[in-house]
């Protein structure tokens, strides 16, 4: 199943290969590159993922138009909720699995924690999740990370420019000039994002948008993979205690990898990242359990079984 979802066009655009197949959604943030497309993303999935598992949530500039004045937010889970509800209602015989990375992973884990048992996802994977956005913001403004900060701010300015007319004449605390000329992600969030989503300050936004605050409530099998040297999702922000105490969650932290920079195999650094095989192994392991039990305790057991059986190669 291929899946596109545009933040600025709420309609769902589905390309179904097999309507009864199990569905896998990928949730990603659009800060990194304003020109991502579905075709561009196929190589990131790698050979381990069969065609019926292919999917993509597209960045908001993909189709050009717009229908809402709310911008992207690490706290906003309504889009994902609508997607999951729509797909699960239409394909009632399918299990739905989600994979999110970077801020997309933060949104996914927030969704899992907020919705708890009410959603239709059967399993999920979080990759390079910043988890604690207050800590991530602090580290993002240090040393070489300033280069990333400026690059992401440039992408945000480019995206905002295409939709700037929507924000003209708005009342409230909006600082449109600050957002339009932001040199850092924090400036952009202060001028626009936090106001759009009714936060009192940018720090209030980062604190309440952090998935570290909701992961203890997750009741869906969840694999979290982080890199200890990730400059954007710092290791000190990982909620180790909350994950350890939650039997539905499993954490893998590699010593290297940066931010989504895991490589392996003979084709490295151009081939599929080693995480592809681990992600698929986890989801297939959970899926096998879905065929034998629907109980929460069954999910817990499958997660714990995976933790003792998986072999992670971080070469």
Cα separation, 227 vs 206, whole angstroms:
21
Cα separation, 195 vs 187, whole angstroms:
12
Q: Residue 28's Cα: distance from chain center in Å? A: 5
Residues 62, 102, 196, 212: which is the catalytic one? 102
Residues 9, 248, 259, 285: which is the catalytic one? 259
CA distances from 303 to 27, 107, 129, 296, 310 (A): 21, 21, 19, 11, 11
Pairing relation of β-strands 249-254 and 222-227?
Answer: parallel
Q: For residue 26, give the nearest of 310, 290, 283, 313 by alpha carbon.
A: 283
Helix (H) or strand (E) holding 43: helix 38-45
Residue 230 appears among annotated catalytic residues: yes
Residue 15 appears among annotated catalytic residues: no
Residues 6, 139, 230, 276: which is the catalytic one? 230
Q: Is the dihedral of CA 19, 41, 131, 189 positive or negative?
A: negative
64: region left, alpha or beta (phi > 0 left; psi from -120 to 50 alpha): left
Q: Compute how many other C-beta atoms are within 10 angstroms of the C-beta atom of residue 220.
A: 26
Pairing relation of β-strands 9-15 and 2-6?
Answer: antiparallel
Catalytic (active-site) positions: 102, 230, 259
């Amino acid at each position: 199943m291929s899946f596109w979802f545009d933040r600025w066009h709420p309609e769902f655009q589905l390309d179904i290969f097999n309507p009864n197949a199990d569905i896998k959604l990928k949730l990603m943030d659009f800060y990194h590159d304003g020109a991502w497309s579905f075709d561009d993303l196929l190589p990131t999935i790698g050979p381990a993922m069969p065609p019926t598992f292919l999917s993509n949530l597209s960045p908001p500039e993909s189709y050009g138009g717009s229908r809402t004045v709310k911008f992207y937010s690490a706290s906003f889970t309504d889009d994902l909720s609508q997607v999951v509800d729509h797909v699960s209602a239409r394909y009632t015989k399918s299990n739905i699995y989600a994979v999110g990375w970077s801020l997309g992973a933060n949104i996914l884990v927030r969704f899992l924690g907020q919705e708890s048992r009410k959603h239709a996802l059967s399993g999920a994977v979080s990759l390079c999740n910043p988890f604690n956005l207050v800590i991530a913001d602090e580290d993002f403004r240090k040393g070489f990370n300033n280069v990333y900060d400026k690059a992401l701010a440039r992408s945000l300015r480019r995206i905002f420019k295409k939709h700037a007319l929507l924000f003209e004449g708005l009342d409230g605390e909006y600082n449109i000039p600050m957002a339009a000329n932001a040199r850092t992600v924090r400036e952009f969030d202060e001028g626009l994002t936090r106001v759009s989503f009714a936060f009192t300050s940018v720090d209030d936004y980062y604190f309440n948008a952090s998935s570290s605050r909701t992961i203890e409530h997750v009741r869906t099998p969840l694999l979290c993979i982080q890199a200890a040297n990730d400059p954007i999702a710092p290791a000190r922000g990982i909620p180790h205690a909350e994950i350890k105490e939650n039997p539905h969650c499993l954490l893998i932290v590699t010593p290297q990898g940066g931010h989504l920079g895991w490589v392996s195999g003979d084709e490295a650094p151009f081939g599929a990242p080693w995480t592809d095989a681990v992600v698929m192994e986890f989801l297939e392991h959970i899926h096998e359990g879905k065929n034998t039990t629907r109980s929460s305790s069954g999910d817990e057991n499958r997660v714990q079984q995976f933790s003792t059986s998986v072999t992670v190669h971080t070469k």
